[in-house]
Amino acid sequence: MTSKFLQLSLTVAAALAVSAAAQAGSPAATSGSTAAPANPTPAASAPAVITGTKVGAINMEYAIFNTNEGRRDMEALGKKLEPKNNELKNQNDELEGLKKQMQTQGEKLNEDARATLQKQIESKQKSFDRSYQDFQEEVGGQQQDIATRILQKMAPMIVKYAQDNGFGMVIDTSKPWPQGPVLLAGSGVDITQPVIEAYNVQSGVPAPAATGAATKPAAPKTAAATGATPKPTPPKATDAPK
């Protein structure tokens, strides 16, 4: 699951990108010309006309990260961040070892030794929490960059798909209700997979080797919120749209 910040950013970015694509006009509207005029007429730059009556649904988050390009770039990101993730795991293991020592030996230690061990735990906990938060922010920021780049190219395709298939409205189902506005959407109105397939054809990016699904970061869990040390977590696979 992505962080709330990334989900919100994607929701806002998707709305802006699709709106901009609609205002700029459908690619299909100008593809018939052999050359673009030096000074486009108002008709050439008119907003895309959406006249359909059907309602479609698309899981934008899933669509972005499960294109061949998205999967490729997210797998590359996972490899790039692997050393830092391993470093965090080592920090976490060391911290857990000290906590276990306190649990099993704390009562046997004298007051000074116990206080020293407690200070070690608190110091390492603070250091780990800071490093973990920085890691999550780095993951989220770089994923946002990938998502934004893909979304800018995907938005015009969604507009064109809506025009070509009689959709007058397309809703985003990335966030399940009640976090999102959509209570339910049947598979019969879902256009996520067709958009992914169309994007793959247009991008020309081949499917990555079968080493795992598209990746996303887990939402950060702080020690204060869970009562336990947060485990460093590399990007996770997305779930298929329901």
Q: Is residue 156 part of a domain?
A: yes
Per-residue burial over 77-111, b = 16 or more CB atoms within 10 Å of its CB, e = otherwise? bbeebeebbeebeebbeebeebbeebeeeeeeeee
pLDDT in tens, 62-85: 999 999 999 999 999 999 999 999
- Please indicate, yes or no, whether the overall pTM of this predicted structure exceeds 0.85: no
Strands 167-172, 215-216: pairing is unpaired
The predicted structure's pLDDT at residue 183: 87
CA distance 63 to 70: 9
Query: Is residue 68 domain-resident?
Result: yes
Q: Cis ω on the peptide bond leading into residue 194 (within 30° of 0)?
A: no
Task: Kindly indicate the confidence band of residue 91, based on its pLDDT and cuts at 50, 70 and 90.
Answer: very high
Does a structural domain hold residue 226?
yes
Q: Is residue 230 part of a domain?
A: yes
Mean pLDDT confidence for 103-130: 94
pLDDT at 13: 56
Q: What percent of the chain has pLDDT over 90?
A: 57
What tens digit of pLDDT does each residue of 162-197 get? 999 999 999 999 988 888 888 888 889 999 999 999
Q: How many domains does the chain have?
A: 1
Instruction: Indicate whether 43 belongs to any domain.
Output: no
Note the pLDDT tens digit of each residue in 192-239.
999 999 999 999 999 988 754 444 443 333 333 334 555 555 555 455
Report d(CA 79, CA 84) in Å as an integer. 10
40 within domain boundaries: no
Dihedral, 198, 62, 181, 161 alpha carbons, nearest 10: 0
Q: Is the pLDDT of residue 128 over 90?
A: yes
Domain contains 36? no
Q: 41 in a domain, yes or no?
A: no
Report pLDDT digits (tens) over 6-40: 554 555 555 566 666 666 654 444 344 444 445 54
Domain carrying residue 58: 4-26+48-237
